[in-house]
Amino acid sequence: MQLETLPNFNDWLTSSKRRNIKLYSLYRLSVASILLATQILMRGGGLSLEQPILTTKVLLIYFALSFILAGLAWIERTKFEISLATQAVIDIGFILLMMHLFDQNQTGVGLLMVITIVFASLISDGRYALFYASIASIGILLEQTYNIYFKQTSSGNYTNAVLLSVACFATAWLAHTLARRMLTSERLASERGVDIANLAKINALITQEMPNGVLVVGESQLLSHYNQQFTALTGLTDAQLSDAMAHKKPLASFAPELSKLLSEWAQSEQDSKQSDAIKFSLPDRDLGIRFLPVSQSRASGAIIFVEDWSQVQTQAHQVKLAALGRLTANIAHEIRNPLSAISHANQLLQEDNTDPATSRMLQIISDNVQRVDQIIKDVLELNRRDRTNQESIQVNHFMTEFYQQFCAVEKIDDSLFTLKLPKEDVAIFFDRRHINQILWNLCKNGWRHCKKNKGSLVLAIKFSRNSQFINLQIIDDGDGIAPSIQSHLFEPFMTTEKTGTGLGLYIARELAEANGAKLDFTTANTGTVFTLNIKKV
C-alpha cells in the first residue's frame, strides 16, 4: 500500500497563480474590447471629446497589447512575479492615460483602476499588492495635479483623486488579506484531504488483514465497504458485492437472511448491547454474526462482523477444557493403578485355573478391564483436544496412505471400501494425528453398520474451486440412524453397541472443532453420510 503525500506547495501555488493570470488576461482583453468598441461606435468624439483620434489610437494599442498578453499567458515561461508586475504596471499606466483622455468619464475609469488593483492583489504577494496601489495613487495624484496647473481645472477634483487613491490602498489590502486567508484554507484543506485519504487506506488495509469478515452498510442497508475475509466466510463473490456497491443494491438483494437479522437488530432496543455473536447457519458451515452501529441511530447503518462459529465455540470452551483436562488426568491416573493390579491378578488366576466355569468368569473380568482401559484412553484424548499441532497436509496423498493402512489393519477388501479422490490435489491445515483419529472412528463406524457389499463404504473428497472449504465424506449403505437418537448422536457415552464406549463420535467432533473444522451428518434408510468440512489453505 502506498500512502498519499502532500504535493509540493510551491509548485501548486505557482500553478494556481498561472491559472489566475490567464483569467486576468481575459478580463483585460474584455475591458479593452468594450472600450475600443464604445469609442468607435459612439458619435461626437466617443469617450473623449477633446482628443478622439488620440483616444482611439491609445485604445487600439491597449487592445493589441491585451490580445498579445492573453496569448502569452498560455505559453508564458518567464518568472511569474515579473510577468504579473509588468502586466499590472501596463494596466495602471493605460488606465491613467485613459483617465487623462476621458475628460468626462474619469469616475468610471477610476473604478477600472480599483478593479485592476483587486485582481493584481489577489494574485500577487503582499508587498506587490501595496506596490501596485502606490503606483496607482501616485499616478492619480500626478494626473490631477497636471490638470489643475496646466488645464486650469477645479482644485475640488483633488478630493476625488485622494479618495480614489485611498480606495486603491484599501482594496489592495483587503484583497490581499482575503487571498492570504484563502491560500491558508486551501493548504489546510489539501493537508486534511491527504490525511483523510491515507486514513481511509490504512483502515482498508486493517480490515483486509483482519481474521474476521467485515461488512459496512449505510442507510437503507446499502453497501459501503467489505473485506476479502467476508467473501471467504459467506461464500459471496467480489463480483456480487462490487455490483451491489456500484448499482446501490440493498443487502436484501443478495443476502436476504443476513438482511433480516440486521433489520431485527436495528428495530431492537437502542440501549441494548450485543456482547455475544448470533449463530448464522449456512449449508456448509456456521458463522457468528455481530452488529455494531456506526452512529447513535441504528437506522443510519452498521458494521457487520462475521467469524467462524467453530472459533467462537473454541474460545467459549477454553476454560471448560482446561478444567476438564486436569480432572480427566487425575481420574485416569487414580483408576489405572488399581486397574493394572486387577489385570495382573486376573492374569495370574487364569494361569493356575483349570475349571471351565471359573475361566469364563476370569475372561469376563479381562474383557471389562480392557473396556475400562479403553474408556480411560478416550477420556485422556479429550485432554489433548486443545493441544493441536497443525500442519499443511496434501489431501490426496494423506487419504491414500490412510486408506491403505485402514484396510490393512481392519482386514477390509478394497472392493468393499472405495476411495474417491479428486483430480486436483489441495492442501489443508490440520493436526495429522487428529484427522487420522477422526477418519478412523468414522470409517470404523461406517464399516460396522454397512452391508459389507461391493462399494458399501466410500471415502470421498469433494470441493469446488470457488469455495474456501473441502468436504471429506464417509458414506455407508446401512439402515441409517434412528430418529430417536439423531439429536444425541454426538453426546458422550452415547452408544448402541454393547461393547462400545460411546466416546468415538464425541471425540471426533471435539477434535474437528479444535482444528477449525465442522463434523455433521445426514441419514436416511439407505445409509448415512458423515461430512467433515475443512477450510483449504
Q: Are residues 60 and 179 in the same domain?
A: yes
Q: Are residues 441 and 501 in the same domain?
A: yes
Flag whether pLDDT at 81 surpasses 50.
no
Q: Are residues 33 and 16 in the same domain?
A: yes
What's the pLDDT at 476?
A: 92
What's the pLDDT at 287?
A: 83
The answer to whether residue 205 is domain-embedded is: no
Question: CB count, 10 Å around CB of 225?
Answer: 17
Q: For the ranges 232-241, 260-269, 319-328, which has the lowest average pLDDT?
A: 319-328
CATH code where residue 247 lies? 3.30.450.20
DSSP secondary structure string for all residues of 366-386? HHHHHHHHHHHHHHHHHHTTT
Three-class SS of residue 97? helix
Flag whether pLDDT at 521 surpasses 80.
yes
Residue 518 lies in domain: 390-535
Q: Are residues 409 and 518 in the same domain?
A: yes
CA dist., res. 94 & res. 113, Å (int): 10
Q: Are residues 316 and 304 in the same domain?
A: no
CA dist., res. 469 & res. 462, Å (int): 9
Higher pLDDT, 16 or 298: 298
Q: Are residues 143 and 290 in the same domain?
A: no
What's the pLDDT at 278?
A: 80
Q: Are residues 127 and 51 in the same domain?
A: yes
The answer to whether residue 372 is domain-embedded is: yes
Q: Are residues 161 and 14 in the same domain?
A: yes
CATH code where residue 455 lies? 3.30.565.10
CA dist., res. 515 & res. 310, Å (int): 9
CA dist., res. 87 & res. 100, Å (int): 20
DSSP secondary structure string for all residues of 6-34? PPPHHHHHHHHHHHHHHHHHHHHHHHHHH
What's the pLDDT at 266?
A: 83
Q: Are residues 25 and 92 in the same domain?
A: yes
- In terms of average pLDDT, the best of 18-27, 104-113, 341-350, 517-526 is 517-526
CATH code where residue 349 lies? 1.10.287
Q: Among 254, 286, 308, which residue terminates a domain?
A: 308
What's the pLDDT at 398?
A: 92
What's the pLDDT at 457?
A: 92
Torsion of CA 313, 319, 320, 325, to 10 degrees: 120
Domains of the chain: total: 4
pTM over 0.85: no
Q: Are residues 66 and 182 in the same domain?
A: yes
Average pLDDT over residues 98-117: 76
Q: Among 348, 383, 418, which residue terminates a domain?
A: 383
CA dist., res. 461 & res. 471, Å (int): 6
Q: Among 281, 308, 335, which residue terminates a domain?
A: 308
**Residue that is written with C-alpha cell 491416573 in the block:** 333
Average pLDDT over residues 318-335: 67
Average pLDDT over residues 331-342: 77
Contacts with 388 (C-beta within 8 Å, 6 or more apart), sequence order? 431, 434, 514, 515
Average pLDDT over residues 13-17: 65
The answer to whether residue 151 is domain-embedded is: yes
What share of the chain in percent tops pLDDT 90?
8
CA dist., res. 50 & res. 490, Å (int): 114
Q: What is the mean pLDDT of the chain?
A: 79
CA dist., res. 242 & res. 239, Å (int): 5
Flag whether pLDDT at 105 surpasses 80.
no
- Among 460, 483, 481, 479, smallest CA distance to 471 is for 460
Query: Burial, 130: exposed, middle or buried (Cβ in 10 Å; 0-12, 13-18, 19+)?
Result: middle
**Residue that is written with C-alpha cell 446501490 in the block:** 248
Q: Are residues 185 and 255 in the same domain?
A: no
Q: Are 453 and 477 in contact (CB under 8 A)?
A: yes
Q: Are residues 137 and 275 in the same domain?
A: no
Categorize the per-residue pLDDT at 45 as very low, low, confident or very high, splitting at 50, 70 and 90.
low
The answer to whether residue 3 is domain-embedded is: no
What's the pLDDT at 80?
A: 46
The answer to whether residue 332 is domain-embedded is: yes
The answer to whether residue 198 is domain-embedded is: no
What's the pLDDT at 400?
A: 92
488-499 per-position pLDDT tens digit: 787 776 676 665
Q: Side-chain half-sphere of 493: how many Cα atoms within 13 Å?
A: 5
The answer to whether residue 195 is domain-embedded is: no
What share of the chain in percent tops pLDDT 70?
82
Contacts with 373 (C-beta within 8 Å, 6 or more apart), sequence order? 336, 339, 343
The answer to whether residue 2 is domain-embedded is: no
267-316 per-position pLDDT tens digit: 876 554 555 678 787 777 778 888 888 888 888 888 888 887 766 666 66
